[in-house]
Amino acid sequence: MGIACVLFDTPFAGERSLIRSHPGDSVRQIIPLVEKNIQLTTKTIFQMMGAMARDLQTVSHLIAERHGLCNDRRAVLGGSMGCLFASFAFTCDGFGQRLLGVIGHSDSQLFAKSFAPPIPAALLKYPAKALAEMLGFFVGPFPMAGVMFLNLLAEMKEGGEFVTKSNPMTYADRVDANRRARFLVGEDDHLVKVADVKSVCSRFKNGAFYAVSGMGHGSSKGPSFVDHVRTFLGTQLEDWRY
């Protein structure tokens, strides 16, 4: 099968390469914002969502002009938090005929609830150094960046104007039954709940998910995570074969 791919380095998508070659994580990407005293809020996320959607439209025009790829057989793929950015373009902007999500889904508020550790909101008012000793992965050696990320997740969990505007599921009713949404999720994923993916699928007119036993958030027992993703993409796109 021949597939033309355009790869995006989306914000906060962590280890972004499906071949597991990128060492980045969400907290490290916030450090430049902290250094410039820029606050990361739900309004910022909404602006990032819009920028990503515009970039996709720009690339769509470029591949049509430069490579003659003009048909409508276009799928948008996102992994983990990158799935939210892909979903926003799919639901809000109407980009792509298919949405393919890996270890993620399209509801940013549900994602924040499952992604964030169970920390009382009052605890986030503690000094960053004290929090750094308690919050492990989310803070680690970058306390201010970690606390900013946790505050963002807390804000997303609570809801509000920009949480609603940036949530791809706000626009799910714009997606008709001819445009399908498919998700690959691991039953051992500690960040993305299978029940949440099922709930998201029920709100699409043509939604479905595949839960893999032994697969976690980018890891897998038995067949590798990459193998699972390859199989998922092959089965979802094989009918577009020339």
Q: What is the pLDDT of residues 35-72, one digit of tens each?
A: 777 778 899 889 988 988 888 888 889 889 998 888 88
Fold of 26-240: Rossmann fold (3.40.50)
> Of 15-19, 50-54, 80-84, 159-163, where does mean pLDDT reach its minimum?
15-19
Of the candidates 150, 156, 154, 158, which has an alpha carbon nearest to the alpha carbon of residue 132? 150
> Measured between alpha carbons, how far is 153 from 126 in angstroms, rounded to an integer?
17
> Measured between alpha carbons, how far is 139 from 149 in angstroms, rounded to an integer?
8
- Largest Cα separation within the chain, whole Å, is 59
Global pTM reads 0.82
Mean pLDDT of the residues in the chain: 82
Of the candidates 199, 114, 100, 211, which has an alpha carbon nearest to the alpha carbon of residue 156? 114
Q: Find the mean pLDDT for residues 164-171.
A: 96
Cα-Cα-Cα-Cα dihedral sign, residues 167, 170, 175, 176: positive
Residue 88 CB-density burial (10 A; 0-12 exposed, 13-18 middle, 19+ buried): buried
Of the candidates 126, 81, 131, which has an alpha carbon nearest to the alpha carbon of residue 101? 81
Position 100 scores a pLDDT of 96
